[in-house]
Amino acid sequence: LEISVHYCASLHLLLTKDFLVYSSSFTKLPHLAGTEQNLLLAKQIQGQWKEFGLDSAKLVHYDVLLSYPNEMQPNYISVIDDQGNEIFNTSLFEQLPQGYENVTDILPPYNAFSAQGVPE
């Protein structure tokens, strides 16, 4: 019993380590939905799933309408008080995380998939 418990614990650590390496590859580069980079990532996942032994892993094309950030008119959210004064707004830029200084195509923060407007 002690050997099997030790084996299971070791297997769990190994799988956790492998999963962390495997999953970290998904965040190395920006992969906004509908972009070429996102398609490349989907193909990578498809290939890895086949390597893991799945009988089938298919990519299915969908025509979906997506909104993307407009660099000329940045999208942000603000809180307005009773007098109409903007008392808070979300940042239009974020500092790059360590290790991403040379990564291109990083998008500014934006309120994805929502139209401009003033809710009441």
pLDDT tens for 43-74 read 998 998 888 788 888 999 888 788 788 778 88
45 in a structural domain: yes
Q: Tell me which residue range forms the domain holding 89.
A: 67-120
- Has this prediction a pTM greater than 0.85? no
Q: Are residues 72 and 119 in the same domain?
A: yes
61 in a structural domain: no
- Looking at every residue in the chain, the average pLDDT score rounds to 78
Alpha-carbon distances, residue 44 vs 27, 54, 66, 72, 74 (angstroms): 13, 14, 23, 33, 32
- The whole-number pLDDT of residue 83 equals 94
Structural domain total, the chain:
2
12 in a structural domain: yes
Q: Are residues 47 and 88 in the same domain?
A: no
Mean pLDDT of 22-43: 83
| Highest averaged pLDDT of the listed ranges 1-5, 48-52, 59-63, 82-86 | 82-86
98 in a structural domain: yes
Q: What are the phi and psi torsion angles at 24 (to 5°)? A: -65, -25
Q: Is a pLDDT exceeding 80 seen at residue 17?
A: no
